[in-house]
């Protein structure tokens, strides 16, 4: 084997090993924080926490609306130019703020109503909403800034910042929950951790790019194009993402919301994989223009997930009671649903990875097809799933993910077939 190729492969192995080791620490702090909340909060308080965070996710998606897709696609060509990259960052930030205002106007009334329906007083609902909006402010900035270290292959720097953020959250949660066990503690501790991440990340980015650069007209036009191209998908995902929680919040009770939210925390196990995709795989695809190399990398990703499904699913059946023990005695009756929850988590991780790859290359044309395909599948699933039960909701959620897997693969196929054969 050529020494240059061997050295390149070894450097990738070392980078991946170091990245995963740090990422495991990041995810362990996040997982520990989540489990601490699940064990400390009553089911009603944890339901409030889940509802507020689900709606915050909708606001964040609406405030993004394809902007990070544009950043990855355009940034892949300008990341080496400090001033030019700064123009792109500032243009994207301007759009994020505008869309955030729209998301707040649309989602906050829904959040207040849903919290009220499930037993929160108006005053308490307003306090929870305030915490969510503070964290959204930090998300707007970090969502743009974190593209910089990713495209500049500085994923380890981003990891260290995320680790500091996770530790800061634990440092607040542990003593605070011993005094006041409520959802507000969980939400404001998360907002504080996001603020820590924003502080250190913005300092890092300020050294890497020129944040005083003016906005760029061409970037503005391209970002508008991405926003328009993904607008339908964005609006759909604002509803689709937290749909399971919405359904239970409307047709179930706070106990069911808490149970579905708690068992969903098991999915954080796969967050390491999704993080590898966002921080290493996606930038690698952004900088790769050889069709043969792209197809090879894509095949490895698919093979990895299939292998993981074959390995993990049997284990989740055999050790379901041991796995559910992590969540605490309040959720002991959910052991029969562990396999469904983990299967959905694996598919969610796969979808997230494939979508990250697609947006990094700008392969999003035709993403509108997610809407009719998913809605059709869900209408079909409603005839067979009892959405008033935990098992029915989990099965409904699992079936709903299937179209996204195949459509993401189709978008990728359409993307690489457009690459010139001369690049092979």
**Residue 339 is assigned to a structural domain of this protein:** yes
**Residue 35 is assigned to a structural domain of this protein:** yes
Residue-by-residue DSSP string for 138-200 = HHHHHHHHTHHHHHTT-HHHHHHHHHHHHHHHHHHHHHHHTT--SHHHHHHHHHHHHHHHHHH
Distance, CA of 394 to CA of 341 (rounded, Å): 7
**Residue 10 is assigned to a structural domain of this protein:** no
Reported as a single tens digit per residue, the pLDDT across 135-164 is: 999 988 888 888 888 777 777 788 888 889
Residues 170 and 267 in one domain: no
Rounded mean pLDDT of 346-373?
Answer: 78
Reported as a single tens digit per residue, the pLDDT across 254-284 is: 677 777 778 777 766 666 555 555 555 656 6
Phi then psi dihedrals of residue 62, to 5 deg:
-65, -35
Residues 253 and 180 in one domain: no
Rounded mean pLDDT of 362-389?
Answer: 80
The pTM of the full predicted model, rounded to 2 decimals, is: 0.73
pLDDT > 90? residue 413:
no
Place of tokens 């680790």: 163
Residues 167 and 195 in one domain: yes
Q: Residue 335: what pLDDT?
A: 81
pLDDT > 70? residue 183:
yes
Residues 150 and 225 in one domain: yes
Final residue of a structural domain among 205, 230, 255: 230
Which range (193-207, 219-233, 241-255) has the least confidence?
A: 241-255
**Residue 6 is assigned to a structural domain of this protein:** no
Distance, CA of 408 to CA of 393 (rounded, Å): 24
Reported as a single tens digit per residue, the pLDDT across 17-52 is: 555 667 677 777 887 888 888 888 888 898 899 888
Residues 136 and 270 in one domain: no
**Residue 236 is assigned to a structural domain of this protein:** no
**Residue 8 is assigned to a structural domain of this protein:** no
**Residue 9 is assigned to a structural domain of this protein:** no
- Alpha carbon of 292 to those of 5, 6, 172, 408, 417: distances in Å? 16, 19, 49, 19, 11
Distance, CA of 182 to CA of 166 (rounded, Å): 19
Report the number of distinct structural domains present in the chain: 2
Final residue of a structural domain among 230, 265, 295: 230
Q: What percent of the chain has pLDDT over 70?
A: 83
Which pLDDT band holds residue 224 (cuts at 50, 70, 90)? confident
Length reported for the chain: 424
- Alpha carbon of 225 to those of 65, 74, 87, 415: distances in Å? 11, 12, 17, 17
Residues 372 and 344 in one domain: yes
Distance, CA of 261 to CA of 64 (rounded, Å): 24
Angle at 73 between CA 403 and CA 424, to 5 degrees: 85
Distance, CA of 211 to CA of 80 (rounded, Å): 15
Q: Residue 181: what pLDDT?
A: 82
Phi then psi dihedrals of residue 242, to 5 deg:
-95, 20
Residues 37 and 151 in one domain: yes
Distance, CA of 85 to CA of 167 (rounded, Å): 31
Phi then psi dihedrals of residue 58, to 5 deg:
-65, -40
Structural domain that includes position 115:
18-230
Residues 264 and 218 in one domain: no
**Residue 7 is assigned to a structural domain of this protein:** no
Strand ranges inside 215-303, DSSP E = none
**Can you read off the two tokens belonging to residue 378?**
């869900």
């Amino acid at each position: 084997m050529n020494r240059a190729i061997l050295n390149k492969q070894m450097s990738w192995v070392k980078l991946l090993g170091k990245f995963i080791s740090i990422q495991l620490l990041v995810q362990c702090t996040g997982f520990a924080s989540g489990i601490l909340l699940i064990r400390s909060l009553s089911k009603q308080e944890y339901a409030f926490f889940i509802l507020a965070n689900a709606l915050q996710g909708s606001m964040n998606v609406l405030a993004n609306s394809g902007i990070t897709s544009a950043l990855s696609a355009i940034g892949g060509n300008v990341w080496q130019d400090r001033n030019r990259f700064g123009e792109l960052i500032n243009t994207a930030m301007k759009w994020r703020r505008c869309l955030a205002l729209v998301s707040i106007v649309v989602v906050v009334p829904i959040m207040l109503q849903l919290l009220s329906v499930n037993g929160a007083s108006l005053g308490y609902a307003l306090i929870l909403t305030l915490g969510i909006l503070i964290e959204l402010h930090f998300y707007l900035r970090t969502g743009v800034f974190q593209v910089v270290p990713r495209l500049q292959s500085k994923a380890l720097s981003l990891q260290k910042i995320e680790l500091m953020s996770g530790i800061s959250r634990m440092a607040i949660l542990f003593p605070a929950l011993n005094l006041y066990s409520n959802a507000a503690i969980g939400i404001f501790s998360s907002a504080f951790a996001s603020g820590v991440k924003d502080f250190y990340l913005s300092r890092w980015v300020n050294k890497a790019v020129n944040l005083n650069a003016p906005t760029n007209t061409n970037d503005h036009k391209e970002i508008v194009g991405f926003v328009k191209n993904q607008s339908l998908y964005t609006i759909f995902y604002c509803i689709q993402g937290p749909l399971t929680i919405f359904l239970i919040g409307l047709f179930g009770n706070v106990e069911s919301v808490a149970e579905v939210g708690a068992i969903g925390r098991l999915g954080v196990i796969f967050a390491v994989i999704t993080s590898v995709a966002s921080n290493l795989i996606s930038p690698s695809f952004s900088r790769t223009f050889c069709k043969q190399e792209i197809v090879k990398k894509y095949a490895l990703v698919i093979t990895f997930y299939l292998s993981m499904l074959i390995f993990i699913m049997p284990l989740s059946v055999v050790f379901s009671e041991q796995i559910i023990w992590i969540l605490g005695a309040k959720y002991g009756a959910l052991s029969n649903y562990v396999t469904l929850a983990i299967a959905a988590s694996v598919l969610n991780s796969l979808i997230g990875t494939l979508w990250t790859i697609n947006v990094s290359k700008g392969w999003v044309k035709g993403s509108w097809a997610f809407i009719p395909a998913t809605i059709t599948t869900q209408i079909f699933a409603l005839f067979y799933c009892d959405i008033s039960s935990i098992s029915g909701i989990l099965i409904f959620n699992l079936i709903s993910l299937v179209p996204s897997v195949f459509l993401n693969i189709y978008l990728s196929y359409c993307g690489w077939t457009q690459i010139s054969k001369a690049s092979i």
